[in-house]
Amino acid sequence: MFKQIRPAFGVLAFMTLVTGVVYPLSVTAFAQLAFPAQANGSLVRDDSGAVRGSALLAQAFDGAEWFQPRPSAGAYATVASGASNLAPSNPALAERIASEAQRLQATGQGGVPMELVTTSASGLDPHLSPAAVHFQIARVATARGIPVANLQRLVEQLTQQPLVGPAVVNVLALNQALADNRRSAEAE
């Protein structure tokens, strides 16, 4: 019996060492060498070096002077990320969407883009389509006293075209550019 158990424990110890120690450490070392920014969370820093967030996670912005990301079912908390799991027939979902649409609606702008009133699957998607960002330009321009044309140029500068999929704008990067006024001053 011990002849069979001893090799089994040997294989278990070896596989635990390989898959639990060697492999994770080698992948971590490779990631740190080849992709250090991504391996450390794609952190976004301001001019003083303080971390303002991650380029991969949405965060809430209060006030008319900021571009708003998609709503979050988990209040932008990474631990509780995920969809609300409310069915389209659920009155609570319809009520939440209607109140968001009413809050965002502006005179003469047409309908509110769907992505500004619905959550993403993770609840933390940091990107919006250029159309959803352009919908907010008039409000942000009025609140900040910036010409609309300057904000449009800023949005164009920050629009990213991924390898696959439609063009997107990272809301955190856009709001950071507004906060430090570098790019809005360059757009003038």
Residue 45 has pLDDT above 90, yes or no: no
Concatenated DSSP letters of 17-86: HIIIIIHHHHHHHHHHHH-HHHHTT-EEE-TT--EEEETTS-----STTS------TTTT-STT-S----
Separation between Cα atoms, residue 122 and residue 84, nearest integer Å: 9
Assign 80 a pLDDT band (cuts: 50, 70, 90): low
Name the more confident of 14 and 121.
14
In which element (H, E) is residue 4 found? Answer: helix 2-17
Has residue 92 got a pLDDT over 70? yes
Global confidence as pTM: 0.72
Q: Report residue 107 as tokens.
A: 């005179």
Residue 87 has a pLDDT of 82
Sequence spans of domains, the chain: 1-40, 41-187
- Compute the average pLDDT of residues 107-124: 80
Tens digits of residue pLDDT in 118-172: 887 777 888 999 999 999 998 899 999 989 999 999 999 999 999 999 999 999 8
pLDDT cut 90: percent of the chain above it:
38
CA dist 169 and 26 (Å) reads: 34
Q: Are 182 and 157 in contact (CB under 8 A)?
A: no
Q: Which two tokens stand for residue 15?
A: 């596989």
Mean pLDDT of the region 4-11: 91
pLDDT of 24 over the 60 cut: yes
